[in-house]
Amino acid sequence: MKLTKLASAAALFMLATGGSLAQAGAPACTSDVHDDFDFWVGEWNVYAPGNEEGLGPYVGHNTVSRIHGGCLITEHWVNTAGAGGESMNMYDPLIGAWRQVWMSNGWYIDYTGGLNADGAMVLTGESYTIQTDTRAELRGIWTLREDGTVSQEFEQKDAEGVWQNVFTGIYVREEDDPRAEEAEAARAG
């Protein structure tokens, strides 16, 4: 009985929307704004900042994919300790801004924004640390660098309201990474 009601409701919804959801494969998110974060899409080895090449120790791996007709960018992060998290990134037409929602077993982030004048993606919002039940203002900045790497910075406001860096990662595409074997060995344990 419940299945019949669900099927009836789905059929009514399809009729009300003109069956538009049934048009599989139709490009949905093709405007220029939907390409704003494409520079972050790829398979990445992530390093702390450091030596003369700008790369310090390997800190993790990130897979960033554009899916659902370009409407959603997903992130799958795993650090060297094996901990990780996921994010969903999308241009939200209801607010006219990019939005990221991140979730791991210890941290939740929800922030919005867009490209700044220099072409960096800047998202500002709030983070929540689950174990300590604390909230903080957070800003994420993703910058495509001249060499094709991406810098990712997280900044949190301190008690005086000043932004303080809490993380910087340098993203190197796996296929371009001179230390790829080293990174792969670190992932394998």
Position 2 scores a pLDDT of 53
Indicate the DSSP class of residue 21.
Answer: G
pLDDT at 13 over 70: no
List pLDDT tens digits, range 156-178. 998 899 999 999 999 999 999 99
Q: pLDDT by residue (tens digit) across 14-27? A: 444 444 544 555 56
pLDDT at 15: 45
- 187 falls in which pLDDT band (50, 70, 90)? confident
pLDDT of the residue at 164: 97
Q: What is the pLDDT of residue 189?
A: 73
For the residues 120-149, what does the mean pLDDT come to? 96
Judge whether 98 and 123 are in contact, CB under 8 Å.
yes
For domain 41-188, is the CATH number 2.30.29.30? Answer: no
Residue 48 has pLDDT above 50, yes or no: yes
Q: What is the pLDDT of residue 53?
A: 64
Residue 132: predicted pLDDT:
95
Digit-coded pLDDT (tens) for 85-133: 999 999 999 999 999 999 999 999 999 999 999 999 999 999 999 999 9
Instruction: Spell out the long-range contacts of 59-63 with Cβ–Cβ below 8 A and sequence spacing 24 or more.
Output: 59/169, 60/84, 60/169, 61/183, 61/187, 62/171
d(CA 74, CA 59): 20
Determine the pLDDT at residue 24.
56
Burial state string for 143-158 with b = 16 or more CB within 10 A and e = fewer than 16: bbeeeebbbbbbbeee
DSSP code, position 32? G
Q: Using CA atoms, how far apart are residues 23 and 104, in angstroms rounded to an integer?
A: 34
**pLDDT at residue 186, as a whole number:** 85
CA contacts within 13 A on the Cβ side of 139: 15
pLDDT of residue 143: 98
Q: What 8-state DSSP symbol labels residue 20?
A: G
Burial environment of residue 84 by CB neighbours within 10 A (0 to 12, 13 to 18, 19 or more): middle
**Separation between Cα atoms, residue 126 and residue 154, nearest integer Å:** 12
Residue 119 confidence (pLDDT): 97
